Amino acid sequence: MEDTETEFPASRAGADAVGAAIGDGSCVKETRSEMLARHQKEIKELQNKEIGLKKAAAKGSKAEQKAKKKLAEEEVARLDTKLKARHVKELASLGIPVDDKEINSIEVKVKAIAGVSLNGTNNQVRPSKGQKWRDRRAQQEAEREQRIQEEQNNVVSERVLEDQQLEGKLAPLGYTLKEIKSDGHCLYRAVEDQIGLHPELVQYSYQELRILAANYMRTHADDFMPFIGAETTEGDNPDETLQTKFERYCGEVESTAAWGGQLELGALSHAMKKHIVVYSATLPDVEMGKEYKEDAPEGAPLLNPSVRVSYHRHAFGLGEHYNSVIPVDPSLVQDTA
22 vs 133: CA distance, rounded Å: 34
pLDDT of amino acid 44: 85
pLDDT of amino acid 318: 53
Q: How far is CA 281 from CA 18, 72, 96, 126, in A?
A: 37, 27, 43, 59
3-class secondary-structure state, position 279: strand
223 in active site: no
Task: Find the catalytic residue in 80, 186, 250, 314.
Answer: 186
What single-letter amino acid sits at 252?
Answer: E
Residue 115: partners with Cβ closer than 8 Å, 6 or more residues away: 135
204 vs 212: CA distance, rounded Å: 9
58 vs 47: CA distance, rounded Å: 17
Contact indicator for 180, 189 with CB cutoff of 8 Å? yes
Measure the CA dihedral 22/28/31/36, to 10°: 0
Domain 161-332 grouped into CATH 3.90.70.80? yes
pLDDT of amino acid 84: 81
Contact indicator for 60, 259 with CB cutoff of 8 Å? no
Q: How far is CA 55 from CA 60, 66, 68, 73, in A?
A: 11, 12, 10, 12
Contact indicator for 194, 307 with CB cutoff of 8 Å? yes
* Spans of all domains in the chain: 5-125, 161-332
Continuous segment of H or E residues that includes residue 329: none
In terms of pTM, does the model score above 0.75?
no
Q: Which residues pair with residue 326 across a beta bridge?
A: 176
pLDDT of amino acid 268: 98
173 vs 166: CA distance, rounded Å: 11
321 in active site: yes
186 in active site: yes
Residue 237, judged by CB atoms within 10 A of its CB (0-12, 13-18, 19+), counts as exposed
In terms of DSSP H, where are the helices of the chain? 32-57, 62-93, 100-103, 106-119, 129-170, 186-196, 206-219, 221-230, 242-255, 262-272
The pairs formed by 280-285 with CB atoms below 8 angstroms and a separation of 24 or more are 280/166, 280/310, 280/311, 280/312, 280/313, 281/161, 281/162, 281/163, 281/165, 281/166, 281/169, 281/312, 281/313, 282/162, 282/165, 283/311
Q: Tens of pLDDT along the chain (337 residues)?
A: 444 444 433 333 333 333 333 233 334 567 877 888 888 888 888 888 888 888 887 777 777 777 778 887 888 888 888 888 888 888 777 777 766 555 566 666 666 666 544 444 444 456 666 667 767 777 777 776 776 666 666 555 778 888 899 999 999 999 999 999 888 899 999 999 999 999 999 999 999 999 999 999 999 999 999 888 666 555 566 678 899 999 999 999 999 999 999 999 999 999 999 999 999 998 999 999 999 998 766 666 778 899 999 999 876 555 689 999 999 987 665 554 4
Task: Find the catalytic residue in 183, 236, 285, 329.
Answer: 183
Task: Find the catalytic residue in 193, 314, 321, 335.
Answer: 321
pLDDT of amino acid 335: 53
